């Protein structure tokens, strides 16, 4: 019993709280020259809008994936348009339940 109690106590000490939210995927393909700036902008945006980011994928372009609440999608789309002077159009994808750090 002591061994199990110690293991549970240690596991709880290392556990992180998360919120489960229904979030919608938004894909943004960004030219490599703008990737660093968009990475910073999207991280700041996600922190302020109960959103999370996937890992960027670098290929022909830098592909960023944001997971945002449905109510925040118009704001994200408008912000991406502003940041890119209308050159980039986010692609809205599926909605799923996702863990967001508390």
Task: For residue range 9-66, list pLDDT tens digits in order.
Answer: 888 888 888 888 899 999 999 999 999 999 999 999 999 998 889 999 999 999 999 9
**How far, in Å, CA of 28 to CA of 26, rounded?**
7
> pTM for the whole thing?
0.78
Work out the burial of residue 48: count CB atoms within 10 Å of its CB; fewer than 13 is exposed, 13-18 middle, 19 or more buried. exposed
Domain map of the chain by residue range?
Answer: 17-101
What's the pLDDT at 1?
67
**How far, in Å, CA of 20 to CA of 101, rounded?**
9
Q: Give me the CATH topology for the region 17-101.
A: Alpha-Beta Plaits (3.30.70)
102 band by pLDDT with thresholds 50, 70 and 90: confident
**Is 5 or 30 the better-scoring residue by pLDDT?**
30
């Amino acid at each position: 019993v002591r061994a199990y109690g110690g293991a549970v106590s240690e596991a709880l000490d290392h556990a992180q709280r998360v919120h489960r939210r229904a979030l919608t995927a938004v894909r943004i393909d960004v030219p490599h020259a703008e990737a660093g700036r968009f990475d910073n902008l999207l991280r700041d945006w996600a922190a302020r809008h109960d959103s999370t980011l996937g890992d960027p994928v670098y290929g022909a372009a830098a592909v960023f994936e944001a997971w945002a609440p449905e109510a925040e999608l118009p704001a994200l789309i408008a912000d991406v348009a502003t940041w890119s002077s209308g050159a980039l159009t986010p692609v809205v994808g599926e909605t799923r339940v996702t863990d967001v750090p508390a």
